[in-house]
């Protein structure tokens, strides 16, 4: 009864309830893998070769970037600032001209009427 309820539900069509499953045949290997025995000297030699390969690979690798800001973000922000500067160059120029404009120096800053 329960199986037919699940099977007749249209939302469960892809679930394949009560279908037979096909299982493949497992074939065991013909023989076990051959064990390799190393002498101490041979093991030290291979270990040294492995360490040498790691050292050479490490020296040839590119250094890691220590910057927290990616390079593309730096470049894009520089381009945006440059574009903003070009678009507003008159306003920026007038700001700096006002900033460095010479003002007359008064003789007595406390009493300007003197």
pLDDT tens digits for range 43-53: 899 999 999 88
More confident residue, 25 or 47: 47
- Does 77 have pLDDT greater than 90? yes
Q: What is the mean pLDDT of residues 27-51?
A: 86
pLDDT at 55: 84
Task: Using the predicted structure, report yes or no on whether residue 3 has a pLDDT greater than 60.
Answer: no
Say whether pLDDT at 11 is over 80.
no
* C-beta separation of 106 from 112 below 8 A: yes
Q: What is the pTM of this model?
A: 0.30
User: Rounded to 5, what percent of the chain is helix, strand, coil?
Assistant: 55, 0, 45
Map out the domains of the chain as residue ranges.
Answer: 70-95
């Amino acid at each position: 009864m329960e199986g037919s309820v699940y099977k007749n539900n249209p939302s469960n069509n892809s679930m394949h309830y009560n279908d037979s499953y096909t299982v493949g045949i497992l074939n065991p290997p013909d023989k076990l893998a051959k064990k390799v025995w190393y002498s101490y000297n041979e093991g030290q030699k291979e270990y040294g070769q492995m360490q040498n390969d790691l050292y050479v690979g490490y020296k040839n690798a590119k250094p890691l970037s220590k910057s927290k800001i990616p390079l593309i973000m730096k470049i894009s922000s520089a381009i945006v600032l440059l574009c903003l500067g070009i678009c507003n160059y008159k306003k920026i120029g007038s700001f700096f001209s006002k900033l460095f404009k010479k003002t007359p120096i008064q003789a007595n800053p406390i009493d300007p009427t003197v």
